[in-house]
Structure 1
């Protein structure tokens, strides 16, 4: 995305905001939120809601609205909503302003399919964010990344320097709102994950917990699998156990070679990861414990 594209986006979305809410379900929530926005002079352009039970469950809401002179009214809007609505319903909530582009850092190793999908979509305006830099533990993808005009840094990681390496990566990524693991083939340091709680998205094949380790597609071929797929999730200290954002599968059969399985699997991976990142950038995801509510 060029500077002019970002500038145009900031101009056209300066009055757009998104409100995300989680609370215990009870009567009057929709009326309270919509009335508040009405009396502020806002126009609701999208409203999605979900309740876990017909009565007494957990309630989730995403509201997108337009409000004239929003930029000069942000602080007042936040304070007024907190006092008049959020406190009354004991809400967990956040207000996101669409023209404030989220900053994204990417971690990658040697395999490029997920990375290049993100960079290509971003360059075409399909990912509303600023990609600040790509960090890798190898030099291999420097030229591919720098061709998109994005800084590329190498931080080698091994058993001996892991703590120091992740401290360096943490420093390099400061200021970002989200980190994306685009096939980054390292297990993150636990302290690093804690510092970026629910701000790291990972992608992996959906054979897990089966076919762990090297050559999962070779293992899958040997077992004659009939479905392959991918899972995008937030990263937690428990390896590959974080809240799932998006998944997809493709049906295969005995005719598929290992290479065909890998090629199809990588197609699924790149698309699943791109969708998960896009939904995060568009404030469509609410994390609820070890699950997510995704308003599409």
Structure 2
């Protein structure tokens, strides 16, 4: 109703929330969601997200790009997006994650997207941002974890390769799955063909997962998601 405030809605929902011990998020649909994209050296998923925002398929504003490398700085500057380089080592991981949390807070970001960001978030950070970080895993989980997954797949002679978008949790690459896709491959394809196919799948799967999250069509239910 006209004149209804956020506080009014929260008060009205509180009895049901308390009764069923629910975790809820109230979304203001009039406000464009703000996202932070994290990337390392492979930028295909990052560029695809920007394209989908440009053509209006994704309704979001990129608040910042965060990376552990300088590779995407020129792109960020061209787009007028703040670019933060936070190199991560075993010794400075905690301090750099605190910097990331500060960027999230200062930018008012609603979602952090790991667009082939090749650093593992700590358990502490994963818990603090639970339900607000989406990762694209370069595999049809749980197969072929680690380095060069498409080369591993090629060596094993697989017939399907894929990618998985999931929420980040303290359990590495085992968070609630939002979106997946596979594509048929064959012995006639090279390892480089696998990589190229994988790039396309990763980009599509991540973008679809982000879209569903931003449109509030994903409900977390324990270790699983319910996607509308």
CA–CA distance in 1 between the matches of 2:25 and 2:72?
A: 37
Q: Residue 229 of structure 1 contacts residue 268 of structure 1 at CA under 8 Å; is this kept in 2?
A: yes
Distance 1:164 1:76, change over 3 A: closer
CA–CA distance in 2 between the matches of 1:88 and 1:109?
A: 42
Measured on the aligned residues, the alpha-carbon RMSD in Å equals 1.9
Larger radius of gyration, structure 1 or 2? 1
1:76: how far off?
6.7
TM-score, structure 2 as length reference: 0.91
Q: Which residue of 2 aligns with 1:108?
A: 39
TM-score, structure 1 as length reference: 0.71
Q: Which residue of 1 aligns with 2:16?
A: 86
**Match 1:205 to one of 127, 138, 150:** 138
Q: Deviations over 1:12-36 (max 9, x none)?
A: xxxxxxxxxxxxxxxxxxxxxxxxx
- Higher strand proportion: 1
Distance 1:88 1:182, change over 3 A: closer
Q: Which residue of 1 aligns with 2:86?
A: 155
1:172 corresponds to 2:83 = no
1:292 corresponds to 2:222 = no
How many residues were matched structurally? 225
1:209: how far off?
3.5
Q: Which gives a bigger RCO, structure 1 or 2 (Cα 8 Å, sep 6+)?
A: 2
1:127 corresponds to 2:58 = yes
Q: Higher mean Cα deviation, 95-104 or 252-261? A: 95-104
Unaligned runs of 5+ in 1: 1-39, 41-68
CA–CA distance in 2 between the matches of 1:79 and 1:222?
A: 54
Distance 1:209 1:284, change over 3 A: closer
Distance 1:210 1:94, change over 3 A: closer
Distance 1:293 1:193, change over 3 A: same
Q: Residue 119 of structure 1 contacts residue 148 of structure 1 at CA under 8 Å; is this kept in 2?
A: no
Q: Deviations over 1:84-130 (max 9, x none)?
A: x8369747344422111222111110000000011111122221122
1:97 aligned counterpart, secondary structure: coil
Distance 1:128 1:160, change over 3 A: same
Unaligned runs of 5+ in 2: none
